[in-house]
Structure 1
């Protein structure tokens, strides 16, 4: 399990990529769902 700090860093990394102003640089939905922030969820499915 990740520490709270690591989880927060991953969350803010994902949010930053989702809020990128330039659409060409913005993360896609498919890429977002593969982001490390969601790795712990894969263990439960």
Structure 2
């Protein structure tokens, strides 16, 4: 039982990370549809 719970947590963490990464990617490219964010120019 303990192992089953562990794998469920790992899977959930993976999906959350994937979602967060895809959201960050869409924000950086400016294709976000869920909310508006002002584009901040990075100094190089």
TM-score (normalizing by structure 1): 0.44
Considering only CA atoms, is the larger Rg found in Structure 1 or Structure 2?
2
TM-score by length of 2: 0.45
User: Which is bigger in relative contact order (C-alpha 8 A, separation at least 6)?
Assistant: 1
